[in-house]
């Protein structure tokens, strides 16, 4: 076994915050229970009959809505790939202490809800509005500050027609862990944006500077830097680890011969335009076959790659690019929070003749 790298506190987080086992990349829509979950504090207990959504701040007509009110509004269903901004954190050096994600902090689901834009329009956004703030019912302490989890987005993002107040996932009411009874959904942005257990929406005349916006989720090279905010999901491809695993090490064993490697690719910053695969640790690359975006703009796309596996040890890699000119880096980028590490995945396999 290798040396210890994770503390008890980080393990506590890993035990609570569920990753998507990578064989679940096979599913177009991630089954409930396999989608990744990151819960900052505790999953709150919400009585849906007492719950209301309050919309206020810089609006002409503040609004208060029950869950039935929201369900009676025009609705949209949208397949969305969601990824945690901390996905890949364990692979950055030096080590960053927080939720210790390897590569499993992703999932794709079909969310149904009421578009936020229509609600904002009815409430009447007043001149001078710049951001919209979303506050959840999950409460805890972070950086010494007791807080309700809260994050904002710029007004122009809030007015996109695909930003939803979602009450269903994969055809069923939100389970407690996904934000029951209501969550925000901002396609293309990292998951911390899509506030769960949503209770309040406030239109603001200046940028929100709460803990999760001011301190967390910023690209910084040292603690004192202000840094740029973490926003759009960076381009990434992941593959289903081929063959069968060894229980403890997850080392992969594969029989020699023809195999189809498969995986998914996505980007919040642009459309995925291609995926390259290497079967020799990145020395040479060849293009994978990329499926059409059958699930829509905001969901991952399947890719496949035929491989004639020869005996011996091989390192498989996949690397996606998008039409905004982004391509996955070969080495993990580092920042204080360990955010947005979209370096290429590397999977070692032992090809045998049995």
Q: Residue numbers of the site for its own copies (CB under 8 A)?
A: 1-16, 18-19, 21, 23-24, 26-27, 31-35, 37, 39-43, 45, 90, 97-98, 100-102, 104, 139-142, 146, 175-178, 241, 244-251, 253, 354
Q: How many other β-carbons are positioned within 10 Å of the β-carbon of residue 290? A: 17
Q: At its nearest, how many Å lie between its own copies and the CB of residue 24?
A: 7
For its own copies, give the closer residue by CB, 101 or 298.
Answer: 101
191 three-state secondary structure? helix
Q: At its nearest, how many Å lie between its own copies and the CB of residue 211?
A: 10
Instruction: Match 């994050």 to its residue by tokens.
Output: 151
CA-based nearest residue to 277, from 331, 344, 326, 324: 344
CA-based nearest residue to 257, from 316, 309, 315: 309
For its own copies, give the closer residue by CB, 33 or 296.
Answer: 33
Q: At its nearest, how many Å lie between its own copies and the CB of residue 338?
A: 13
96 three-state secondary structure? coil
Q: At its nearest, how many Å lie between its own copies and the CB of residue 280?
A: 23
- Count CA within 13 A, CB hemisphere, residue 119: 30
Q: At its nearest, how many Å lie between its own copies and the CB of residue 156?
A: 30
For its own copies, give the closer residue by CB, 41 or 219.
Answer: 41
For its own copies, give the closer residue by CB, 34 or 150.
Answer: 34
Exposure letters 127-151 (e unless 16+ CB within 10 A, then b):
eebebbbbbbbbeeeeeeeebbbbb
- The DSSP 8-state label assigned to residue 61 in this structure reads S
For its own copies, give the closer residue by CB, 11 or 311.
Answer: 11
């Amino acid at each position: 076994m290798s040396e210890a790298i994770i503390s008890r506190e980080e393990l506590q987080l890993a035990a609570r915050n569920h990753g998507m086992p990578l064989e679940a990349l096979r599913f177009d829509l991630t089954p409930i229970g396999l989608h990744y979950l990151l819960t900052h504090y505790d999953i709150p207990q919400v009585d849906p009959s007492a719950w209301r959504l309050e919309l206020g701040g810089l609006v002409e007509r503040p609004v208060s809505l029950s869950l039935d009110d929201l369900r009676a509004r025009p609705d949209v269903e949208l397949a969305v790939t969601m990824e945690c901004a901390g996905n890949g954190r364990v692979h950055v050096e030096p080590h960053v202490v927080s939720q210790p994600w390897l590569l499993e902090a992703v999932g794709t689901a079909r969310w149904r809800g009421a578009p936020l834009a229509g609600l904002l329009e009815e409430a009447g956004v007043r001149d001078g509005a710049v951001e919209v703030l979303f506050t959840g019912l999950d409460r805890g302490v972070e950086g010494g500050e007791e807080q309700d989890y809260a994050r904002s987005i710029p007004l122009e993002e809030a007015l996109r027609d695909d930003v939803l107040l979602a009450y269903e996932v994969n055809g069923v009411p939100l389970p407690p862990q996904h934000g029951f009874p209501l969550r925000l959904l901002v396609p293309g942005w990292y998951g911390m944006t899509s506030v769960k257990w949503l209770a309040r929406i406030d239109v603001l005349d200046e940028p929100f500077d709460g803990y999760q916006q001011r301190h967390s989720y910023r690209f910084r090279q040292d603690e004192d830097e202000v840094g740029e905010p973490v926003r759009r999901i960076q381009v990434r491809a992941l593959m289903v680890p081929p063959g069968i695993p060894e229980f403890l090490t997850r080392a992969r064993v594969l029989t020699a011969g023809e195999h189809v490697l498969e995986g998914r690719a996505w980007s919040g910053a642009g459309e995925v335009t291609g995926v390259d695969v290497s079967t020799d640790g990145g020395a040479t690359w060849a293009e994978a076959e990329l499926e059409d975006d059958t699930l829509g703009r905001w969901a991952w796309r399947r890719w496949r790659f035929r491989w004639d596996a020869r005996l011996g040890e091989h390192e498989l890699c996949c690397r996606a690019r998008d039409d905004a000119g982004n391509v996955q880096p070969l080495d993990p980028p580092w920042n204080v929070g360990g955010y947005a590490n979209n370096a290429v995945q590397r999977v070692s396999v032992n090809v045998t003749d049995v």
